[in-house]
């Protein structure tokens, strides 16, 4: 049965190779998540060009990582990697909206549909934060614009009626997004009413 040892040694070589790739993936995932978060921060700080440069580097990193993971589908489609891509989608779509006023398709981004959907729903929360900043700067009309975009994302993804096995994590994120939108809509309505009240009082005091 000496051939058994040979079989196991061959498997051991395969596993060593996969383990090296896995260690590389862990480091890359950490970098993708960190830099995606930093890109979002840049956008909020109005450092859009810095965000664009960082996202360009991230896309290059992801393309190289995809090529390395192609022979290892169990790693390429692992929750570890998909969660990092989710963060990248959120940052990249936020940038695209703020700079170009549009959202990109999964084909254009070359992203698997699971992190694409998850990232889009996470974007709803980021748009709430951005809308609140717009209200502080006195541009409530733009805040409503981003609320409407966030609502369109929510309504579109909510319509996907598939089991958890096909769209993991989506149902939970849809529920979270609904609450985010309800809170933001309530806040914007309250702000508008307060503005109208202030204007009415001001007109009555200064006829």
Beta-carbon neighbour count of residue 128 at 10 Å? 21
The answer to whether 140 and 134 are in contact (CB under 8 A) is yes
Beta-carbon neighbour count of residue 126 at 10 Å? 21
Q: Average pLDDT across each block of 10 residues of the chain; the chain has 207 residues. List them in order.
A: 84 94 97 98 96 97 96 94 97 97 97 97 97 92 96 97 94 97 95 77 66
Q: What is the CA radius of gyration of the chain?
A: 22
The whole-angstrom separation of Cα 41 and Cα 47 is 8
Answer positive or negative: Cα dihedral of 126, 51, 47, 98: negative
37: nearest Cα among 122, 157, 115: 122
What pTM, to 2 d.p., does this model score? 0.91
Question: Could you tell me the two tokens for 97?
Answer: 């909206």
Q: Which CATH architecture has domain 2-205?
A: Up-down Bundle (1.20)
Residues 6+ apart with CB under 8 A from 181: 124, 128, 147, 150, 151, 154
Residue 11 pLDDT: 93
């Amino acid at each position: 049965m000496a051939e058994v040892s040979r079989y196991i040694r061959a498997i051991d070589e395969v596993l060593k190779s996969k383990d090296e790739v896995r260690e590389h993936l862990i480091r890359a995932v950490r970098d993708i998540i960190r830099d995606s978060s930093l890109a979002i921060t840049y956008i909020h700080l109005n450092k859009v060009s810095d965000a664009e440069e960082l996202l360009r580097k991230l896309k290059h990193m992801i393309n190289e990582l995809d090529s390395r993971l192609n022979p290892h589908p169990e790693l390429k489609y692992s929750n570890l990697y998909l969660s990092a891509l989710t963060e990248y989608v959120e940052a990249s779509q936020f940038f695209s909206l703020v700079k170009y006023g549009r959202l990109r398709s999964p084909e254009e981004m070359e992203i698997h549909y699971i992190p694409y959907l998850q990232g889009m729903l996470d974007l709803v929360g980021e748009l709430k934060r951005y809308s609140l900043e717009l209200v502080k700067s006195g541009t409530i009309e733009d805040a409503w614009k981003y609320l409407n975009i966030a609502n369109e994302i929510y309504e579109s993804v909510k319509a996907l009626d598939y089991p958890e096995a096909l769209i993991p994590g989506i149902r939970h994120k849809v529920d979270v997004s609904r609450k985010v939108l309800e809170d933001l809509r309530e806040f914007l309505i309250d702000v508008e009413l307060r503005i109208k009240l202030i204007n009415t009082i001001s007109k009555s005091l200064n006829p």
